[in-house]
Chains A and B, each alone.
Chain A
Amino acid sequence: MAAGAVASCRPVNPELAVEATELRKSYGDVVALAGVDLAVPAGSVLGLLGPNGAGKTTAVRILTTLLPPDGGRATVAGLDVVADAVALRSRIGLAGQYAAVDENLTGFENLEMVGRLYRLGRGAARGRADELLERFELTSAAKRLVRTYSGGMRRRLDLAAALVADPPVLFLDEPTTGLDPRSRRGLWETIEARVAEGTTVLLTTQYLEEADRLADEIAVIDRGRVIARGSADELKDRVGGERLEVELDDGLAVERAVAALSPMADEAPVAQDRTVRLPVRRRGGAIAEAVRRLGEVHVGIEDITLRRPTLDDVFLSLTGRVAEEEASTEEEASAEEARRPQEVAAP
């Protein structure tokens, strides 16, 4: 793996804003990180993508000096996260998974306080606070206590706090979780503007759309390991050709549909709610074949499309594989079919 090779170059590479080698961390018996390598070139965006409990927050905490790793080493902006922690803190900005803002201060007071703690001096801290409130469209709420803010406003204030010192490396842990689509887009634009000015960003997310839009490189992390990495396009190519997506009119018919469609693909189809997704070998005739196969087992179709893979497909096919093996095998699926003939839907 190309990125893995970069990360294993022992001497600190000045081109890399974040470099982690074999990071390990356990909480008691729970292994949160089981040897993670990361390499983020200066001025680029790495998206750390993974399901709940994958270890994303743990990785961010180690890289922001909050948590010492049990093993491995990491440098950020050329500084070791353990040995040079003190010097490093003035060069990073962190927006954690939960908005870390003081409820009992106003928006302005929060940013001023963070500025003072970055040791900007009173005047500079105030100027910066005003500037950021303006940029994040919080000027009209600047004098209100944060406990009167909406969730989205808190999130924006939290991100503003991470930007107070104009740090060269930004860590954003699920920055848009809980935001409405408009605020999310606004935040993306702000992050893109920072990157255009040369900031390096490591962001974690569960939204593939977000990683697709913002990240130059994506590392998919699951159970404390990086299980895939590459650009969004590279990852999509790895999943292979076109994707057939079939929405069934009956959620209970999913297993029958999976069984009927699996001969069309090399990989097992992935089912989610009433939708079945599968990579198909040939584009021509794929829809017709799927309709015929589903018709034979009397499964009704609500919608059927053929499209390029999205990161969702990557995510599901990479992180869903183990779960699938543990879940229904084909025998179980056909046993299920025999038990429930009454669910046959006329196409």
Chain B
Amino acid sequence: MSELAATVGDTMVLAKRSLLRIPRAPDLVLAFTVQPIMFVLLFVYVFGGAIQTPGYDYVDFLMPGIIVQTVGFGGFVTAMGLAEDLKRGLIDRFRSLPMSRSALLTGRTLADVATNVFSVAVMVAVGLLVGFRFTTGVVEVLAGFGVILAFGYAFSWVFAFVGLTASSPESAQSLGFIAIFPLTFVSSAFVPIESMPSWLQGIAEVNPITITVDAVRGLFIGTPYGNDAVISLLWSLGLTLVFAWLSVTRYRRAVTR
């Protein structure tokens, strides 16, 4: 067996392990189903009347934003899982096995892609029920999902690093939220950035979440998006490379305790 094939095999074994866990933990099932539904409904019905999005229904404006936010958080399972593996000594076991040195991380982040696909499907279904419509072609819509999943994957690697660095599973989760929450709110995800104070607009404009949301919005409902899709993909690639390298380096030295 070539080393690459073996690495892929190890990754699959460990991705399966991560996925098996989800239906067995009721809180995770809620996190992947009820939470996104709740977000869509709350935003549409609570903020929908208050936020002005000239030329578009708020639900059409909102859906790309809320989907990007959700996949951005999707990697928290990786952060929590890795922190738990560290705490329970499983990292020691894995590191003593002849498996690929990155497989635990590629396995977990790959499992996140699967759960992100699931969450996105749930949200799109709920969105369609409350009035969201795609107004572009099939190719654009598919490209939009590609941009979303790439972005979610990149953030899984950020979370992987957080999970290996945090002192406990609980702090891994809250560290992740502290990092991502302000990022999603200081972006075009929920409100047009023109409505923010000007100093905040400057931050929001360079925020990769804004770029990604604008790209997805353009690909789903036809707003102008310039090069945002390409720039978003470059962000995802860059974050993935940097945090994969950081995480694998950290994993190789990680010891329980």
Contacts and interface: CB of A to CB of B under 8 A. Distances in A.
A58 B88 CA distance: 17
Interface stretch (B5-13, B68-76, B150-158, B176-184): B5-13
Interface in B1-26: 1, 6, 9-10, 13-14, 17, 20-21, 24-25
A21 B9 CA distance: 37
A104 B21 contact: yes
A102 interface: yes
A105 interface: yes
B96 A94 contact: yes
A64 B255 CA distance: 12
A100 B92 contact: yes
Contacts, number: 75
Contacts of A92: 96
Interface in A95-111: 96-105, 109
Given A66-B255, A113-B13, A119 B98 contact: yes
A54 B1 CA distance: 42
Contacts of A97: 89
B11 to A, nearest CB: 11
Contact of B17 (A64, A113, A118, A145): A113
B145 to A, nearest CB: 29
A20 interface: no
A302 B97 CA distance: 53
B13 A104 contact: no
Contact of B95 (A66, A114, A119): A66
Given A67-B255, A90-B98, A100 B93 contact: yes
B13 A66 contact: no
A277 B9 CA distance: 59
B24 A100 contact: no
A27 B187 CA distance: 43
Interface string A56-92: 0000010011110000000000000000001001101
A interface SS class: loop
A193 interface: no
Contacts of B99: 117-119
Contacts of A116: 9-10, 13
Contacts of A94: 92-93, 96
A161 interface: yes
A103 B98 CA distance: 22
B94 interface: yes
B97 A117 contact: yes
Nearest to B25: A104
Nearest to A67: B255
A48 B250 CA distance: 30
B237 interface: no
A116 B12 CA distance: 10
B242 to A, nearest CB: 25
Contacts of A100: 88-90, 92-93
A65 B96 contact: yes
